[in-house]
Amino acid sequence: MTKEFDFDVIVLGAGGAGCAAAITAARNGTSVALVSKEGIGMGNTRMSGGEMSSSGVVDGDSAEVLKQDMMRGGEYLSNGHLVDIIARNASSAIRFVQGLGHYFRRDEEGRFSGKAASRLGGHSFPRSFGGLAVSIAHALRNAVANTKSISVFEDTLVTTLFREGDEIRGALGVDLKTSECVVLKAKATVLATGGCGWLYYPQTTNNRTATGEGYAIAFEAGVQLVDMEMVQFFPFAMNHPPHLVGTLLDEPILAGPKGKLINGLGEVIADHDINKMTRAQVTALMAKEISAGRATEWGGLKLDLSGNLDVPEMLEFKRVKDEVNFFEKVRIAYGEKAFNWKEPWDVSPSSHYMMGGVKIDPHGHSSMKNLYAVGEAAGGAMGANRLGSTSIADIFVTGIVAGKEMSTWIKEREKGKISNSLISREIEKIEKLFGQKGPQRPIKLKREFQKLMRENVGIVRDGERLSSALSQIDRMEEEVENALSVSSIRRYNTEFLDAVELKNMLTCARMIATCALERKESRGAHLRLDYPDKDDAHWLKNIIIQKKKSKMETSFFEKDISEI
Amino acid sequence: MTHGTWGKMKGTRQMDEYTIRISRFNPEVDDGPTLKEYTVSHVDQGSVIAALIYVYEEIDSTLLFSYGCRYKLCGKCAIKINGQPGLACETTLEDRMTLEPLDNLPVIRDLAVDRSGLLEPLRKYGLVYSADHEPEVALQPPEFSQLMRCNECLSCLSNCPAYKEEIDYGGPFFGVKLAELYYDVRDGKKQLKHLESFLDQCIQCRQCDVNCPWDVNFSEISSKIKGEVFKHKGVSVRDWLMSRPHLVGHLVSSVSSFFNSLVKKKSVRKIIDVLLRIDERAPFPEYHPGKVLPREGIERTTKRKVAYFVGCFDRFNDPDTAKNSLFVLEANGVEATAFDPGCCGAPFIGLGDLESARNRAIAVSRELRKLIHQGYDIVASCTTCGAVMKYEYPFLFDQLKEEEVQSRIYNLGDYLWQMHKAGELNTDYKKIKRRVGYQSPCHLKAQKIGAPFVDLLQLIPGLELAATFDKCCGMAGTMGFKKERYELSQRIGNPLSDEIRGKKLDLILSDCASCQMKIKNDAKVDSVHPITMVRQAMR
């Protein structure tokens, strides 16, 4: 049985960005549906390091300096207008998060000062305020639960955006607990679906829900996406034992001023100031060694932190982290000595963040009428590399901005109709999956696909492997269409979920591989072995990708040099 | 150019086969859950979540379980592992493990529970941060950071006997949310009213701490808050008396036989019921005169010296347990002395009178330290006294914090079992032909030492341990006496009584005097401390 609902605004995704958009829109008098594949606040916001950028707390720092850092860190591919908005509103977004009840770490006197902030890789000043990310999630849920005009749809997977003519008029969801369809009609729809780290499982720091739904359904609806080749691999993640592979350790800041990176042959490849490098720079350095076959037995490099044992600020860093048991898994997996920095850690880069995403204007509006994108689902602000702690700023700033913008926007708009034939066509596609017979179990194909991504569309890329990946993606898409077997269970059917996610993941993968093949240079997170150098003369431009007449097409967006 | 080694997952060398049992249940088609066996190829250092993923990928992808982050952040993979709630991501896989969904939450299917109900109590109580502005200076108290560690895995709800009966109260999960706001210096103390009604439902069984993966230890924090609530409330005559078992014991024990016969009269109980609001249907302890003394002229064969902590109940209501404990220790060559410094303070903590409890803690700790200094180990048979000295003293009153002191405080069963392992326990027991049951009290489970008497009882030839029970009896210290809480106490305790009656046993052994009383009164089965059996078996 299908249920239909009418709202002013529907927000798809309930991490920091989605909740911020929903709360802001609701506070401004609109009726909001907050739709989430999981529970509220159960995604990547909860799993982050919890650090959020501010600007202007320390003398000499300002929104302008933060903007410059982000532009430089993004290797000048970022959209300056978006960066500007994030930089100017970062500090007020901190107040918004505090206002929901989250507590950012303060200094010994209880003040919000530079002493309590960290200086993460690529930042000119200590300006990142930490805390427990789980507590951000708590605060978000408390606030959502107590905001009257937000209706919550948990455990609901969105499969399609309803497009009529040139505008989006709502979305179709499936309540996973019953497998009933939910038609959500709205004047405005927000994609806050996060990223797609799970494309690289287990080589990812992400939650298992990060499967790129937002990118895929936006693409299918003909929306423009940008910078899809830019996938951030976080430099320091666990690489064994198997069940912890890919899980997050920390930023370049972890290496401190005296940390060393050592390859599998025992050669030191970097011995100081790794903490001043950006994530992309450290990952590139590591990738070079690893792809040249000089990895450790676990496929990574050794990170030797022992040099920092006489660096007071690093001991303080360790104390703060240990207070919240941040590195407990190191103690369990690598042992007590490693935990205390007396033995090196075996580390590998792990897929962490999608710089690319739905192309938006400074208000969060996409290229398609009535459709917004916020947080990681949106692209453009982070360019070719994201600096640490900027994403928590980004999710809240873009969420708040879009929330405000929508509440004005919808007042001037009539709700458009969604034709019954469109609705029943989409529901039919879902229904057809239940009980579908085929030779292939979805999870098997999913794992095969993830292996392909790690090997061919991962950190280090070349034309040959990317082309081969694209042809394998063709084959897998065909299998998804014709060969999957899905049980007919209606009560939370994960085979159904796998099948839908896999379809979306393949769409994301096709976009990533296509754009990666297109960009014939190396920049930021995008490393081409066949084009190892940065090429400002030809590639200071963004790749836009869009579905036109059921074909994937790319175009370019030249940078306005004056912005840089 | 090589392709690198991304995701090759080296190190999956040794493959062993493990058999695990997983609860399968689809409420739409099945009558109830069934355990199904699966053989998994165990990857070196594998966790339970790795095994579930293996089953899902290799054997059966209709198996439903939840997970998100793969290491301790999302809380979604909490399930019952061999009966105990825990995170599948941080539990190492072992052969023959049984995996079931958490208790007290609706099961979606198999191991997955529905967590969407979490939003309800937050809404119902308007639980939202409401500071008007962010103060310039704000340092949070340690309780705040402790509470903030909660990753909402809901293991505490699975363990909570009160939540099982009283879903509306929200359970420890909701208590944590309330307490977070209460301790947040920016939000003031606005939640005290909600906390008061919350704490009325909490039975202080401490089960919420037992399986908490982040050691939030909510029961300790709730004791503190109870203390704050107490400051604003008066105390009734009944509660004043009930929190002073040592004083009452002294007064009554001199006229014990008269008193005992008096309270056996229904009419007297009726009057007490009306005047003091002690429910006439509740059990009532018998009082005994006299003091517990160790015997003279015992031969010492070990270096062990034990100061046996005589709890109030031991002293005034059940001297046999103390006598038996001392007898067993002495008969095994231990130098044993009765240590009777007065009440441990547990009833004060239960009431929220933390000032009085603190005085008790300081007095008891002073004596206890002296004895430890003289080489004594402290041994308590009462599981509540033991838990209070081990957990409440350090946390609430800054007493006995040092590891070298803490490590010398033992539960009686645990102490005897350690003697047995060291070969110092004479287990040449007489044959006892009897079928008995064993009930694990909440405050024993809270000490995370298992149920040592279950192992000890197995050493007695002929004794058949026909059933073990681990449900809460509902007595919860003094709660079961109280007229206004009697009904909840019964609802919590009835499942245990029913289970015991169903087993048709004539004796239930339990370390806790409250459990014994409640079992005798409700299940109508005799109940004594398990040391009684050990004593009887000795030649």
pLDDT per residue as tens digits for the range A269-311:
999 999 999 999 999 999 999 999 999 999 999 999 999 999 9
Sign of CA dihedral B304, B309, B315, B318: negative
Amino acid making up residue B469: F
Is some CB atom of chain A closer than 8 A to the CB atom of B92?
no
User: Residue B450 pLDDT > 70, yes or no?
Assistant: yes
CB B17 within 8 A of CB B39: yes
| pLDDT tens per residue across span A102-144 | 999 999 999 999 999 999 999 999 999 998 899 999 999 999 9
The arithmetic mean of pLDDT across residues B275-283, rounded, is 91
Is some CB atom of chain B closer than 8 A to the CB atom of A145?
yes
User: Residue A563 pLDDT > 60, yes or no?
Assistant: no
CA distance A12 to A179: 18
Examine the domain organization and report whether B445 and B523 are in the same domain: yes
Is some CB atom of chain A closer than 8 A to the CB atom of B152?
yes
The arithmetic mean of pLDDT across residues A223-228, rounded, is 98
DSSP state of A381: S
The arithmetic mean of pLDDT across residues B94-107, rounded, is 95
CB A466 within 8 A of CB A529: no
Contacts of B123 in chain A (CB under 8 A): 145-146
Domain membership flag for residue B36: yes
Are residues B7 and A133, on separate chains, in Cβ contact within 8 Å?
no
CA dihedral defined by A54, A59, A64, A65, rounded to 10 degrees?
-80
Q: CA angle B139-B142-B144, nearest 5°?
A: 80
pLDDT band at B190 (very low <50, low <70, confident <90, very high): confident
Which residue did the predictor score with more confidence, B11 or B60? Answer: B60
What percentage of chain A has pLDDT greater than the value 70?
Answer: 99
Predicted confidence at residue B6, as pLDDT, reads: 30
Domain membership flag for residue B25: yes
Tally of CB atoms within 10 A around B297? 4
Are residues B27 and A323, on separate chains, in Cβ contact within 8 Å?
no
Examine the domain organization and report whether B126 and B96 are in the same domain: no
Instruction: Give me chain B's average pLDDT, please.
Output: 90
A234-349: what fold? Flavocytochrome C3; Chain A, domain 1 (3.90.700)
Closest residue to B138, CB basis, from A106, A177, A460: A106
Amino acid making up residue A121: G
CA distance B506 to B334: 33
CA neighbor of A393 nearest in space, from A50, A2, A159, A52:
A52
Is some CB atom of chain A closer than 8 A to the CB atom of B188?
no
pLDDT band at A560 (very low <50, low <70, confident <90, very high): low
Please say which residue of B191, B210, B231 terminates a domain: B231
Are residues B128 and A145, on separate chains, in Cβ contact within 8 Å?
yes
| pLDDT tens per residue across span A326-367 | 899 999 899 999 999 999 999 999 999 999 999 999 999 999
What percentage of chain B has pLDDT greater than the value 70?
Answer: 95
Strand partners, B338: B308
Examine the domain organization and report whether B109 and B122 are in the same domain: no
| pLDDT tens per residue across span B306-317 | 999 999 998 899
Domain membership flag for residue B314: yes
Contacts of B33 in chain A (CB under 8 A): none
Examine the domain organization and report whether B461 and B390 are in the same domain: no
CA distance A203 to A198: 8
User: Residue B290 pLDDT > 70, yes or no?
Assistant: no
Is some CB atom of chain B closer than 8 A to the CB atom of A312?
no
Domain membership flag for residue B7: no
Domain membership flag for residue B448: yes
Predicted confidence at residue B1, as pLDDT, reads: 30
Examine the domain organization and report whether B89 and B153 are in the same domain: no
CB A49 within 8 A of CB A167: no
pLDDT band at A42 (very low <50, low <70, confident <90, very high): very high
Where do we find the tokens 């594949």?
Answer: A37
Closest residue to B126, CB basis, from A110, A146, A443: A146
Contacting A residues, span 357-416, partner chain B, CB-CB under 8 Å: none
CA distance B508 to B523: 10
DSSP state of B278: B
CA distance A509 to A228: 9
Predicted confidence at residue B3, as pLDDT, reads: 30
- What is the distance, to the nearest Å, from the Cα of residue A444 to the centroid of all Cα atoms in its chain? 24
Predicted confidence at residue B45, as pLDDT, reads: 57
Q: CA angle A288-A293-A295, nearest 5°?
A: 80
CA distance A228 to A546: 11
DSSP H or E run through A339? helix A336-339
Domain membership flag for residue B3: no
The CATH number of the domain holding residue B225 is 1.10.1060.10
Structure tokens at B495: 């499942």
User: Residue B7 pLDDT > 80, yes or no?
Assistant: no
- Count CA within 13 A, CB hemisphere, residue A104: 33
The arithmetic mean of pLDDT across residues B79-99, rounded, is 94
Predicted confidence at residue B44, as pLDDT, reads: 57
The CATH number of the domain holding residue B454 is 3.40.50
Predicted confidence at residue B297, as pLDDT, reads: 67
> Is the N-terminal amide bond of A202 cis, ω within 30° of 0?
yes
Are residues B138 and A465, on separate chains, in Cβ contact within 8 Å?
no
CATH code for the structural domain at A3-230+353-412: 3.50.50.60
Please say which residue of B98, B114, B130 terminates a domain: B114
Strand partners, A379: A359
Is some CB atom of chain B closer than 8 A to the CB atom of A436?
no
The domain limits of chain A are 3-230+353-412, 234-349, 420-534
Q: Residue B163 sits in which domain range?
A: 118-231
Q: What is the ipTM of this complex?
A: 0.95
Are residues B11 and A495, on separate chains, in Cβ contact within 8 Å?
no
Are residues A299 and B8, on separate chains, in Cβ contact within 8 Å?
yes
Are residues A244 and B71, on separate chains, in Cβ contact within 8 Å?
yes
Contacts of A133 in chain B (CB under 8 A): 73
Predicted confidence at residue B213, as pLDDT, reads: 93
Q: Which of A102-106, A517-521, B290-294 has the lowest average pLDDT? A: B290-294
pLDDT band at B12 (very low <50, low <70, confident <90, very high): very low
pLDDT band at B14 (very low <50, low <70, confident <90, very high): very low
Closest chain B C-alpha to A293 CA, distance in angstroms: 6
CA neighbor of A247 nearest in space, from A237, A232, A257:
A237
Please say which residue of B207, B231, B255 terminates a domain: B231
The SS3 assignment for A310 reads helix
Predicted confidence at residue A561, as pLDDT, reads: 61
User: Residue B5 pLDDT > 60, yes or no?
Assistant: no
User: Residue B11 pLDDT > 90, yes or no?
Assistant: no
Contacting A residues, span 510-539, partner chain B, CB-CB under 8 Å: 529
The CATH number of the domain holding residue B56 is 3.10.20.30
pLDDT band at B294 (very low <50, low <70, confident <90, very high): low
Q: Which of A535-539, B11-15, B282-286, B300-304 has the lowest average pLDDT? A: B11-15
| pLDDT tens per residue across span B349-377 | 999 999 999 999 999 999 999 999 999 99
What percentage of chain B has pLDDT greater than the value 90?
Answer: 70
**Could you please report the per-residue DSSP string of A422-484?**
HHHHHHHHHHHHTT---SB-HHHHHHHHHHHHHHHSSSEE-HHHHHHHHHHHHHHHHHHHHTB
Are residues A243 and B67, on separate chains, in Cβ contact within 8 Å?
no
CA distance B321 to B345: 20
The arithmetic mean of pLDDT across residues A508-533, rounded, is 97
The arithmetic mean of pLDDT across residues B405-422, rounded, is 95
Are residues A146 and B148, on separate chains, in Cβ contact within 8 Å?
no
> Is the N-terminal amide bond of A241 cis, ω within 30° of 0?
yes
Predicted confidence at residue B9, as pLDDT, reads: 32
Closest residue to B128, CB basis, from A112, A146, A444: A146
Closest residue to B67, CB basis, from A208, A493, A529: A208
Contacts of B73 in chain A (CB under 8 A): 46-47, 133-134
The arithmetic mean of pLDDT across residues B179-203, rounded, is 85
Q: Are strands A3-12 and A180-191 parallel, antiparallel or unpaired?
A: parallel
How many domains does chain B fold into? 4
CATH code for the structural domain at A420-534: 1.20.58.100
DSSP H or E run through A3? strand A3-12
CA distance A84 to A96: 18
Contacts of A142 in chain B (CB under 8 A): 122, 127-129, 177
Are residues A292 and B2, on separate chains, in Cβ contact within 8 Å?
yes
Strand partners, B436: B465
